[in-house]
Amino acid sequence: MAAPSCGAPGVWIRGTGPRSGSLFTLVSKAFCSTAAATSPLNAQRLAERLRAQQREQETKKPEPTNPIQRRVQELVRFTGQLQRVHPNVLAKALSRGILHQDKDLVVISKPYGLPVHGGPGVQLCFSDVLPILAKILNGHKAEPLHLCHRLDKETTGVMVLAWEKDVAHQVQEMFRTRQVTKKYWAVTVRVPMPSAGVVDIPILEKEVQGQKQHHKMTLSPSYRMDSGKMVKVRTNRSAHVAVTQYKVLSSTLSSALVELQPVTGVKHQLRVHLSFGLDCPVLGDHKYSDWNRLAPQKLPVGILKKLGLKQSKARHIPLHLHARQLMLPALGSRKEELHLVCRLPRFFAHSLHRLGLEMPNQDQNGDFEAGHLRAQ
């Protein structure tokens, strides 16, 4: 391979695959232009030029004509933008999604794709913006807000914060002692049978052996079948009691809108009970749709056709799990129960429409973006 024909020092870029040529061309052009300039570019200016050229190339990509594919592309961009946005901008967006505010609590709608806590690869999380959000809501001298519970990164819906640490501890204790009633909505692949019931199967975390070793939550049943008879087995000490009530709100031959009420609060409980207990994984759950693999969810042809997607694009489908309702007992000076309802994000409502699933009447206008939801 020959070096670029310019006066700049030789820069060698090695790569494989069809994209390596374009990458070489992009970088070699930048260095050639550097040599031709009367004054050398410093590293920062060169990096800015490279980023500008990359953005220009991205804008030239044709927009998909299918509205669902456009929506999937928007969600992919939205999730990436959440990790690049300035904390002040994110806090301002969250402040527009306030569901309830009083002297003790602030309740907001959590957007899709925003992690609650930091971790490997997380550049920005919900916890990072709590001090800024407090100042937006209560002035520059406001103390940071405190988390009362958590939601998974991909889960949308009701999120409770407290102004004071002791109030946050009180609410956390309500969650721990199961005084808080929580209701979630999920779109499932296939229809749970029976249409209403209780899943009471303990859950534990296990390592999955395979090409990529990883950990998942899974079921740890207390009974097994032996020669046609149900036999009680010894309980695994690592297993957690997990109980979920569920009810099908609407269904077609291949999908359903399900209301879920977790009685306990085990990690990934709803996703595990739906996928491994009822054989009806949540739409967009790329972790628990298959026990042995970490791979994009394999969807029936009927669902793909209704969504207007190919299986190769299924990896972009977001998790359709929404924290719909929360009922908090009386707290402090508030003597009555606090009933909070969070409307659906737009992608969730659009999927319901495409799949032919009906919403209860009060949600027919559930066309609000995640991060811009409000209580009904």
Catalytic residues: 152
User: In 3-state terms, what secondary structure has residue 36?
Assistant: helix
What is the C-alpha separation between 304 and 314, in angstroms, rounded? 8
In sequence order, the 6+-apart residues with CB closer than 8 A to the CB of 331 are 104, 105, 167, 170, 171, 174, 338
For residue 141, the 8-state DSSP code is T
β-partners of residue 360 are: none
Q: Say how many Å lie between the first and final Cα of the chain, rounded.
A: 64
Exposed/middle/buried for residue 123 (C-beta within 10 Å: 0-12, 13-18, 19+): exposed
DSSP per residue, 295-351: -PPP--HHHHHHHT--GGGGGGPPP-EEEEEEEEPPBTTB-S-EEEE-PPBHHHHHH
